[in-house]
Amino acid sequence: MRSGRSTSRSRQITADHWPGFVDALSSLLLVIIFLLAVFMLAQFFLGQAITGRDEALRRLNSQIAELGDLLALEQQANLDLSENLDQLQATLNQKSQALAEAEARALDAENRLGNTGASLEEEREISTTAQNQALLLNNQVAALRQQMAAIQAALEASEARDAESEAVIADLGKRLNAALAQKVQELARYRSEFFGRLREVLSNRSGVEVVGDRFIFQSEILFDSGAADLNASGRTELRKLAAALLDISRQIPAEINWVLRVDGHTDAQPINTVQFPSNWELSAARAISVVNFLQAQSVPGNRLVAAGFGQYQPLDPRRTAEAFRRNRRIELKLTEK
């Protein structure tokens, strides 16, 4: 009887716990659904903000191009006005010289009129003609001066417009530079996060370091001596790298045109084999091997660049075994195209 009562009581306790467990599981499911909804809304608004900023950047580029064209037209107009001004100045000089000659002739005629009475009428006619010529030249000079004043005013107005256009272009240039700087800062933030994750997954491995904006593998980790085929250790380390790169690439906005540049470097000791006639071929082949492996790990090919530098970019210029070891390396750099 006691055994039967104990069994019945145990079943009753188990039955009492089951509804509470279901309620807790339901609450947890609601919290997860709520968090997923918040995350999707945040992604949507972030995408809208990035799209708006890119549209503003395209408008700025278009405005700069239009203002550049207007500035070129204004500069050509200024050049034409300057040429007209020079021509009018030359004409004015000629007219002024002619006026001076006419005044000299008139003065000479008046002097001769005072000295002789025989040719008084003739001298009067000469004097009248000279005076008429002087009056005509004065009128022409006045008209030329008015034209010069109008051209000068037009030139000053054009220069004012040029100054205003240059100020607008300078402002747009500052805004464009600020937008580009923001893009660079965004990529720098993702680069820092990427290198931070690489430090975590590769922190226990010697021969791996971060120098500035580059992540460096010593060649001995990835390749056997004189070879460009990845060894087992190298494939293991590059799988970790590919996983970190794929993870961080999902967070980089699509408008940031990033690439992972893989640079191959050798030491200064010469190599001359059938496969690798020089260090150029060896460094390039190693960089290509890394790129091919990363692509095989689902890293998009359009996000990868391979380059070989041979022995011409050493970290340590000394000719010692330690310097040679440091200079044999693969460098990774997350950058823009």
- Give the model's pLDDT for residue 13: 54
The tens digit of pLDDT for each residue in 211-246 reads: 777 889 999 999 999 999 999 999 999 999 899 889
Average pLDDT estimate for 26-50: 80
pTM: 0.47
| Bridge partner residues of 239 (DSSP) | none
Nearest to 238 by CA among 140, 304, 143, 171: 304
Beta carbons of 316 and 218 less than 8 angstroms apart: no
pLDDT at 311 over 60: yes
Beta carbons of 304 and 288 less than 8 angstroms apart: no
CA distances (Å), origin 27, targets 20, 23, 245: 11, 6, 35
Handedness of CA 116, 117, 118, 122 (dihedral sign): positive
Q: What percent of the chain has pLDDT over 70?
A: 78
- Give the model's pLDDT for residue 323: 95
Beta carbons of 279 and 266 less than 8 angstroms apart: yes
Helix (H) or strand (E) holding 198: helix 120-201
Query: Which CATH class, in words, describes the domain spanning 1-176?
Result: mainly alpha
Fold: same for 1-176 and 202-336: no
- Give the model's pLDDT for residue 291: 98
Domain 202-336 in CATH 3.30.1330.60? The answer is yes
Q: Name which residue leads in pLDDT, 322 or 161.
A: 322
Domain boundaries defined on the chain: 1-176, 202-336
